[in-house]
Amino acid sequence: MSHSAITGRSKLLGIIADPVAQARSPGLANALLAEQKRFGEFVLLPLHVPLPSLGVVLTGLRGIQNFAGAIVSMPHKEAIVPLLDEVTLEAQTVGAVNVIRRETSGRLIGTMLDGEGFVAGLRSAGYAVHGKACLLVGAGGAAAAIAFALAKYGCTSLTISNRTEARALTLAARVQAAWPGLQVQAGKPPNGRYDLAINATSLGMNPTDELPMSLEMIENSDLVAECVVAPEITALLETARQKGREIHTGVPMLASQMALMLEFMGVE
């Protein structure tokens, strides 16, 4: 991947996040572009954008003719929705966006691929969602996308647990409305068994973070899955491994999504 590949004709892609230093997307995306022999035609750069600056940054991006699109990461997935010109049906349903593209007119369009990416990542590791009892911790943008995807791909029950219980209840009600036949509940999980427990919060990115789920929840789950990608083995996964549980890192979710994201941003 020579730097001379970047020219005045290169199209810019970004990842918009705060913090962004730990992001794996630039490495993954540019490696994938190189593999597809498209690096140089496109290049993806990290954009460190604090929440209060999001609006003004998007205004700037609308005016950059060679800006093609950006991955949207924490904490912007929900805040960005009302600032865009259009969002896809998936993103409307979920109420969050994780990738945007710029049309030649300057319009910004967003979609949400976290759910599809998560399920595709599980599948790539040989795990199915169909017929599984699932526990989802978190109720933000990524969690919402995963909740709808779990329902879409046929989980039998879904328990949503979140620090702010009101958000879990709201998300559970939205999923229930879309999938009336599914058993959905929110709040403190009963001492049931889970085939799959998922951390869809940002807890685990910092070494000082508390565990996103209790030891009891971990012990009651067959497979513990993570959405955090850096570090790859979070304290949650390390604990689950020590308890003899199967683990699934956040990296397959990101890798599965990357091709979908590049495609949405115009890398055909």
Distance CA 149, CA 215 (A): 26
For the annotated catalytic residues, the residue numbers are 77
Distance CA 176, CA 232 (A): 32
The token pair that represents 156 in the structure block: 């039998």
Distance CA 162, CA 201 (A): 9
Show Cβ contacts of residue 256 under 8 Å, excluding neighbours closer than 6 positions.
116, 117, 120, 121, 124
